[in-house]
Amino acid sequence: MPVRQSRQLRQVNNAFVESLTEELLGEPSGSYGCLFVVAKDVQSKDTFDCAKVPAYDYEVLGGTHLMLATKRLNEKFPDNSYYKGRMARIYCGLTDEQAIYLGAMHQKSSSFSHDITYREEVERCRSQLYGGQEMDSETPKPSSLWRDTCSRILYKDKRNLCEHFTMAQVSRTTWDAFLVVNNLYEMGKLKDQKFSQAELAKGTLALKQWHMKPLVSLPDDSKLCLLKKISSGEILLKDLKMEADNMKARKSVQSAILAFFKMDKWDEASTRFGSWVDDEKLLRFTGNFEASHDFQVFLKRLKDKDSNVGEIDGGARGMEEFLTKDGTNKGHVIFCEQLQEVTQSMECFKANFKGISLAIGAVGLDESTTGCCTKM
């Protein structure tokens, strides 16, 4: 009988059962290895009665696909002795962790197996996170031994599983979205999905670890947003890295704007400033943007818009930038009608501007006199 969920290394892959059935049908006497099974309700090997082997119930820990394929052919060809059963190694009195470990060992050493996929590895990590229980509640906090246990089960160093651990701990809603994207990929139904030569040769499709890598550093709500966009076809899987990078860049600029205007949520800023803070405008700022002249001018324009002071063009008449001779410090010539506008215009620069800043108020002058002002 199939193993209970708390001891299940991965879900049954029906496509692999089909291919294995064809293999058994074409070569019924071939060597396909033995099953790893555990006798139910037998606490130790000392209480196991070898004379009653057929009478016990067994859970299949390793070789589930072989068992299912053989069972299918036995039902179709009941007189064929090659389909009557399979060689098996019998265990007794195992804990859930021991049972999972044996299943993983069978997967690792089996001569006729299909590689465990990235999805199956992440599912195993998440199942361990829930302690083998139903995964229908909010994501629990990992135990101190969780990563070590996953590493042993998957035969991988913890350093190579960091991304698995991150995806396994997403919220329930994001996890469901992750599974939807995997399902669509495995059916070849993602928008403009491309197939590799290896996938075409094997006849199976499985999402790879590098596909999901761009999501790892994003917060949960951002992961959910991008996964939904992929499944709906709004963005392509191949563009995920670019979209994730853009999202991180926007978040950084949004955080700076929220801090400057002392707001808590971006919805408030979006309502307050409208198209002035749409995605296209925010993506102009990259790197150490907070100290840049362009971003300081942008903040001033937002402040002017918010307070309805003059035109939103960097000042009543305009603003010009100049550098010191060594190019390390910046100053600003502000063309205005009244001197008090200089102080007002420079307030928005003080919060984030790093270094020495000089403002020259050119009252009653225009941009044509900039050269004179900067030579003072």
pLDDT attached to residue 275: 87
166 confidence band (pLDDT: 50, 70, 90): very high
Residue 106 forms part of a structural domain? yes
pLDDT attached to residue 330: 56
Domain end marker among 113, 135, 162: 113
Residue 360 forms part of a structural domain? yes
Instruction: Report, in angstroms and rounded to the nearest whole number, the Rg of the chain calculated over CA atoms.
Output: 32
Alpha helices in 77-109 (DSSP H): 96-109
Which tokens sit at 138? 């909010």
pTM of the shown model: 0.58
Residue 304 forms part of a structural domain? yes
- Grouping H, G, I as helix, E, B as strand and the rest as coil, residue 26 is helix
**Whether the Cβ atoms of residue 278 and residue 342 lie closer than 8 Å to each other:** no
Q: Which residues of 176-207 are buried (b: 16+ CB within 10 A; e: fewer)?
A: ebbeebbebbbeeebeeeeeeeeeeeeebbbb
pLDDT attached to residue 373: 43
Residue 205 forms part of a structural domain? no
| E strands in 253-356 | 318-323, 330-336
pLDDT attached to residue 157: 92
Residue 246 forms part of a structural domain? no
Residue 78 forms part of a structural domain? yes
Show the domain range for 2: 1-113
Alpha-carbon gap, residue 209 to 117, rounded angstroms: 9
Least confident of 24-33, 136-145, 356-365: 356-365
What are the pLDDT digits (tens) for 70-100? Answer: 889 989 898 888 888 888 888 898 888 888 8
- Grouping H, G, I as helix, E, B as strand and the rest as coil, residue 321 is strand
Residue 161 forms part of a structural domain? no
Residue 199 forms part of a structural domain? no
Average pLDDT taken over every residue of the chain? 79
Alpha-carbon gap, residue 101 to 108, rounded angstroms: 10
Alpha-carbon gap, residue 102 to 37, rounded angstroms: 9
What are the pLDDT digits (tens) for 321-335? Answer: 555 555 555 565 555
What are the pLDDT digits (tens) for 231-266? Answer: 999 999 999 999 999 999 899 999 999 998 889 999
Domain end marker among 71, 92, 113: 113
Q: What is the mean pLDDT of residues 292-316?
A: 67
- Cα distances (angstroms) measured from residue 92 to each of 39, 48, 57, 85, 132: 6, 8, 11, 20, 19
Task: Tell me how many domains the chain contains.
Answer: 2
pLDDT attached to residue 335: 54
**Whether the Cβ atoms of residue 137 and residue 173 lie closer than 8 Å to each other:** no
Domain end marker among 90, 113, 136: 113
pLDDT attached to residue 35: 83
